[in-house]
Amino acid sequence: PQFTQSMQYTPLVTKGGSPAHYISLKSIKVDNTGVTVSQSAFATGGVMLSTRLPYALLRRDVYRPLVDAFTKALAAQPANGAPVARAVQPVAPFGVCYDTKTLGNNLGGYAVPNVLLALDGGGEWAMTGKNSMVDVRPGTACVAFVEMKGAEAGDGRAPAVILGGAQMEDFVLDFDMEKKRLGFTRLPHFTGCGSA
């Protein structure tokens, strides 16, 4: 009950008899700056939630603009006193990776730009560095978004985004099947799902 009061809600969407849970995406922002993506990109699939995937998969028409906006915003951070992030050789399946010694840290994980998904119903799924970066080996962290293979823009068979476990970590989710909506809220800092 303590988390339900701070929950934002977005309608759950059914898709062609699929048992998966979908939500509608209106736009994506990186640190409050809109990511330029065709509006039709979201109309043909929305966002699928997956606890089976460890990180997000994005269709190419969504992946490329998001990653470009993220890397541009991260490069602009040194002007704000943050370290200068140094890109390193990507580690598959990720497309963009950084030397962790050049990434600052804060309560939200790595001090990188926040990624915000603006959802139907007015809610925003705000991902900090804890949700948008993944440590792949000592000294290397990668942007936890992967380009979906075999799906192109307008492909109604594939969602625009599949959110994986990394993007849902430290969120409380309420699948309200009666009201056909998803409630979500971030756990307070220093709280985990295993905390009593």
For 115, which DSSP code?
E
- Please give the model's pTM, rounded to 2 decimal places: 0.87
Residue 156 has a pLDDT of 64
45: pLDDT strictly greater than 80: no
Mean pLDDT, range 28-40, rounded to an integer: 89
How much of the chain exceeds pLDDT 70, in percent? 88
Location of structure tokens 């295993």: 194
Residue 34 has pLDDT above 50, yes or no: yes
Alpha-carbon gap, residue 131 to 99, rounded angstroms = 17
* Strand ranges for the chain from DSSP E: 8-13, 21-23, 25-30, 33-34, 47-49, 56-58, 87-88, 97-99, 105-106, 109-110, 115-119, 124-127, 133-137, 140-143, 145-147, 161-163, 171-176, 181-186
Alpha-carbon separation of residue 116 from 10, 16, 35, 107, 156 (angstroms): 14, 27, 10, 17, 23
- In this predicted model, what pLDDT tens digit does every residue of 48-85 receive, in sequence order? 899 899 999 999 989 999 999 999 999 988 767 777 89
Round the average pLDDT of the chain to a whole number and report it: 87
Give the CB-side neighbour count of residue 149, counting CA atoms within 13 A. 3
Say if residues 58 and 160 touch (Cβ distance below 8 Å).
Answer: yes
Q: What angle do CA 157, 119, 145 make, to 5 degrees?
A: 60
Strand partners, 172: 185
Residues in the chain, total: 196
Residue type at 158 in one-letter notation: A
Mean pLDDT over 20-31 rounds to 91
- Whether residue 155 has pLDDT greater than 70: no
Q: What is the pLDDT at residue 100? A: 94
Q: What domains sit in the chain, N to C, each tagged with a CATH number?
A: 4-186 (2.40.70.10)
pLDDT of residue 191 exceeding 80: no
- The predicted pLDDT at position 152 comes to 67
| pLDDT tens-digit readout, 83-131 | 789 999 999 999 999 999 999 888 778 999 999 999 998 889 999 999 9
Angle value at C-alpha 159, between 36 and 114, nearest 5 degrees: 45
- pLDDT, position 196: 45
pLDDT at 133 over 70: yes
